[in-house]
Structure formats: C-alpha cells, structure tokens
C-alpha cells in the first residue's frame, strides 16, 4: 500500500485547528483563574456571614436574659435607667 503525501491544504487546516486549540486552551486557563479568584471571594463572604449568623443565634438564645436586654437598650436604643444622668462629650 502506498501512502499519499498530505496536500498543502490539509497541512494548513491541521495547523489552523492546532492554533485554535492552543488559543482556546489559554483562554480557558484565564477563565479558570478568574473563577478561582471569585470562588475565594465568595468563600470569604460565606465565612463572614456564618460568623454573623452565629452571633445572631447567640443573641436570640440570650434574649431572655435581663442583663442582655439592658445592654441592648443602653447600647443600641440609647435608653437610660430612671434617675441616671447622661453626659455627652462634645469636644470631638
């Protein structure tokens, strides 16, 4: 059996396909790197939100505690006990 030599058109087509595959592979590697960065950012967000959820669960669990209720009233609502005097520092 006699083998034919590849024609010039066949060589050009094979070269074009090879170049296309190289360019596609490089593009996909860039996309993979970008998605890895995005995944890292999202994992950081997940960790932050899980910590926030844990703190909120703790607040819910201790909501019946009178000391906790008092600290919320003082810190977040600005309330004071009857007879207490509030001094506001205006030097800042």
Q: How far apart are CA 31 and CA 70, in angstroms?
A: 52
pLDDT computed for residue 23 by the predictor:
95
Residues with pLDDT less than 70, the chain: 1-4
Q: Is 86 helix (H, G, I), strand (E, B) or coil?
A: coil
Domain boundaries, the chain: 8-48
* H or E stretch covering 52: helix 8-61
Q: What is the DSSP letter of 2?
A: P
Q: In sequence order, which residues have a C-beta less than 8 Å from that of residue 73 and are 6 or more positions away?
A: 79
Name the one residue in this structure whose structure tokens are 């844990």. 54
């Amino acid at each position: 059996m006699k083998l034919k030599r590849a024609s010039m058109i066949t060589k050009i087509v094979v070269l074009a396909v090879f170049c296309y595959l190289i360019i596609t592979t490089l593009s996909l590697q860039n996309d993979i790197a970008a998605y890895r960065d995005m995944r890292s950012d999202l994992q950081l967000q997940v960790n932050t939100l899980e910590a926030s959820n844990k703190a909120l669960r703790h607040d819910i669990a201790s909501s019946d505690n009178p000391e906790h209720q008092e600290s919320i009233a003082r810190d977040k609502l600005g309330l004071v006990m009857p007879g207490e005097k509030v001094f506001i520092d205006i030097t800042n």
